[in-house]
């Protein structure tokens, strides 16, 4: 008897819970009435326009220097071939004594023309080169949304990579004496969002 009574919530507790739930519901209703109307989905034209903005970033030196067509990384704002005969290698991290991490540390070294750094500093591997250099906007658009060419990523994973990946982030923190991509990272992510939400349309 006593045991049962101890387990039963008292009438007052039940009433308090009920009124709490009712007020939660009411709050939800009120806030949904006053919520700003949802922005309309971007259309195809807005989507492909947004890609053109993303394209400017991808083909800027900080990004394309690691996304070359050949098997050597590129350097500088003129994207010249990397000195010291550095090559991609089987895993993208270089060959024998010219492994990327021989010179590139986990962080940028201070000073002009010093090696930039990141723990994952390398080129894409030779089986999926992810070439940005020399690609037209329509071609790069089709390439980066193709899972066979983009590291098997969905569009959302691609967005996440551009918005949050540490190696991509280096592009906006490139060390002394290097210029930045034409859009900030936030703006680039915003344009990616419009591109994807509008159906990942490609410019003609
Ligand atoms: C022998 C040393 C050395 C090795 C090995 C090396 N690098 Fe470099 N790298 C440098 C130096 C020094 C710079 C800076 C040059 C400058 O700013 O003028 C540089 C710059 C770069 C840049 C240019 C960044 C920019 O946007 O301007 C890229 C990209 C790059 N290296 C990629 C690689 C990759 C990938 C590997 C391995 C496959 C590699 N490097 C191996 C010394 C090296
Ligand atoms: C130090 C070299 C390096 C730099 C600099 C670099 N990347 Fe990459 N990027 C890579 C490597 C390596 C991969 C492949 C690894 C992976 O898939 O995670 C890659 C993959 C990608 C991918 C996914 C695959 C695809 O479809 O191409 C995107 C998108 C990308 N990079 C965008 C950028 C952007 C944007 C910048 C400049 C802000 C940039 N990268 C700068 C090395 C680099």
Instruction: Report how far residue 31's alpha carbon sits from residue 150's, in angstroms, rounded to the nearest whole number.
Output: 41
Q: How far is CA 90 from the centre of its chain?
A: 25
Q: For position 13, what pLDDT does the model report?
A: 57
Q: Tell me the ligand closest to 167's alpha carbon.
A: 2
Nearest CA to 187 out of 56, 82, 61, 87 is that of 56
Nearest CA to 178 out of 77, 67, 78, 72 is that of 77
Atom of ligand 2 nearest to the CA of 104: 1
Q: For position 40, what pLDDT does the model report?
A: 86
Q: For position 167, what pLDDT does the model report?
A: 98
Atom of ligand 1 nearest to the CA of 61: 26
Is residue 98 lining ligand 1, measured as CB closer than 6 Å? yes
Contact assessment for residue 37 and residue 21, using Cβ atoms and an 8 Å cutoff: no
Residues in the chain predicted with pLDDT less than 50, given as ranges, are 1-6, 21
Q: For position 112, what pLDDT does the model report?
A: 96
Q: For position 4, what pLDDT does the model report?
A: 47
Q: Tell me the ligand closest to 132's alpha carbon.
A: 2
Q: What angle do CA 126, 128, 131 make, to 5 degrees?
A: 95
Q: For position 38, what pLDDT does the model report?
A: 74
Structure tokens at 109: 């070294």
Q: For position 1, what pLDDT does the model report?
A: 42
């400017």: which residue's tokens?
A: 56
């Amino acid at each position: 008897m006593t045991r049962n009574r101890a387990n039963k919530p008292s009438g007052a507790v039940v009433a308090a819970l009920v009124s709490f739930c009712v007020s939660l519901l009411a709050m939800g209703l009120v806030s949904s009435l006053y919520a700003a109307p949802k922005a309309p989905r971007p259309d195809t034209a807005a989507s492909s326009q947004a890609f053109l903005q993303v394209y400017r970033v991808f083909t800027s030196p900080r990004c394309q220097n690691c996304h070359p067509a050949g098997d050597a990384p590129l350097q500088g704002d003129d994207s010249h071939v990397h000195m010291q005969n550095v090559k991609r290698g089987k895993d993208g991290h270089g060959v024998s004594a010219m492994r990327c991490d021989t010179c590139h540390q986990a962080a940028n070294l201070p000073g002009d023309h010093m090696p930039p750094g990141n723990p994952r500093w390398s080129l894409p591997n030779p089986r999926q080169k992810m070439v940005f250099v020399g690609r037209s906007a329509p071609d790069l658009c089709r390439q980066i949304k193709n899972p066979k060419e983009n590291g098997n990523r969905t569009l959302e994973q691609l967005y996440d990579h551009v918005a949050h990946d540490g190696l991509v982030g280096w592009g906006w923190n490139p060390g002394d004496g290097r210029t930045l991509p034409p859009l900030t990272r936030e703006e680039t992510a915003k344009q990616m969002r419009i591109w994807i939400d509008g159906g990942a349309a490609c410019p003609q």
